[in-house]
Structure 1
Amino acid sequence: MIRRTRWPLLAALCLFALPVAAQNFPDRPVRLVVPYTAGGATDVGARVLAEALAQVLPQPVLVENRVGGAGMVAAEYVVRAPADGHTILFNNTSHAVLRKVVPNAAVDPIRQLSTVSILSEMPMVMLVSNDFPARDGRAFMEAVRAAPGRYDYGSTGGGGTLGMAAMLFLRSTGLQMNEIPYRGGAPATLDLAAGRIALVYDIALTGLQTHKSNQARAFAVTSPERSAAAPEVPTWREIGVDAEMVVWQAIFVPVATPAPIKAALHAAVARVQAGEALRRKWAELGVDRVLAMPPEESDRYVLRDVERWEALMSR
């Protein structure tokens, strides 16, 4: 069951207290910039949000895919955009490792972007090819352990949630597999369904759809508890993986964006996130927690995750 919070109601009430300039926001189309390819999990989440926001904002909300640099291309584009709330980055937990993956970037996405709101939390899904002979997660790990370096997994690199989950999985189990790089989750899943690779970790948004459509088998979710969207799928810990990972989605704006504009954006997010229709849609897509966390709390949340993942990647 999706947990409710106090944030949507409080943020929606704040809308009435905003300065006049913020109440007139936006005055032109809003661009929601996505770091990954169309059709992948991050893109799907962005389009769900964009469609909902377009119903409550006076201007269209357009999704724009800017792929490259492990997500840094999109982040740098938003950092350099006017700080007026009309250009927004939509990203997930992969944002937390950008500085590690692209250490010499021209911008610092953590210091130069401000979090408007954490939108959701969900697990990653361990997807195994239908052609792989193992019938469950433990048997899969036994087969991989017996043949180190024989099997391949799909990844968007260390800067994407697919790569982050795979890294945590392999480090926690000591297994050896070959990384096959992809530009997004969608092409990796296509190769998994075709049997060209053995394993992909995908965000529940799209991973559970892959499982339910029988394109691949879900052997585990990475969250501490089973997902309400697929209660038959065990957790990592249940199959013997001593780790956990929760993926969040969030929106970011340039750090110089005025607080009233961020508050107006947050109020719009809170309004749509509180709607029953959208909450049901998120639940169907595998989201365990629908949120509308306020800006300051969201910034603290992201910084905690940055510290965690940067420490993991420094080992």
Structure 2
Amino acid sequence: MNPVPETTSAGRDACGAHPDSSLLFATAFYHAAGRSPNAWTFSEQSKLAMYYRCMVVCYASIRRLYPQAQLALFTNRELSEPYSGQLRSLGVSTVICADRYVGDRTFRNGFPGCLYTLDVIEHLALHPRSDFSSLILIDSDCIFRYRLGGMPDNLASGCEACYAYAPGYPVGMVVNGQSRATLTLALRYFSGQMAASPIQLYGGEFYGLAATSLPKLAARIEAFWAWMKTQGAATFGDSLTEEHVMSVVLAQTGDTVHSANGLIKRIWTASAFSTVDGSEAGLPVWHLPAEKKKGFAKLYRYWLRHDGFAGLSDEGFRALVDQFIPLRAGGREYPGRTALLRLRGAARFLVTGRA
């Protein structure tokens, strides 16, 4: 895969005409009690520190590629120090956002705060800003390795375009209580719209949205949410996440949704489950949910010791990421884990007489 263009002297994407200052990169993070879905920690404090380290690394990777872009963290309370100050040093503004969707107890889900992206979209629709034309909503466990090419310019061109990432779930696969099949049927019942094929179930880690599209998007989210609460839950149950809502709402926009699969990939790196296939090197964004405790922690420590990533060339930064997060087909190798698995196998043999 050929990487997208990186930088021009004008501080714009090489194939477009909109300045980086018109871009808003944002993360939605809701402070909620409970376990992290992908990384076990000993305490609430260590869980938050893990997420905060990811934020610093993620925003630092964006800042080195987009020096003039706007960076924002939407959250329900301020971060603790030193992380709050570290984000400020990167030019990240913290926006305290209401939690109407998160606080609605009608629906259940296994991820505390997973609906917060809906609250952020509503916040931006209710408090319109004129200082950005393109919004890139990302998860904090993402690393930007290249610029996004012409995507921001496509968003800012005046059309109500959207980019979203689809992990490629099979039609009948149930993900957090819903599948592409049930969501396609929900779209039919809700809007009367008969999809020509099963709708996509988007992953939620990456949305590219035109600023002009946010009011209409927020209204559609509210309409589907209200329908699910009053009518849909009887048929489709009470399991609902941001990904489910956004997948149905974006399906209503038809051809204005563009695939972000050439820009980002959800990369599982654990030896027990790996999605590494060798195609990742040229992707602009890596989403690394299994690296919160290890890879991101190493990059954060490097960032502290070297006063940021600014001293690295583009190639040097990617080499650093490759060093700390080596992608291997079949997952990362952890000698200690291998030894423990062998010990468990030996114990099973001694107890049961079977390997």
Q: TM-score, normalised by structure 2?
A: 0.25
Q: Which has the higher contact order (CA 8 A, sep 6+)?
A: 1
Instruction: Judging by fraction of residues, say which structure has more strand.
Output: 1
TM-score, normalised by the number of residues in structure 1: 0.28
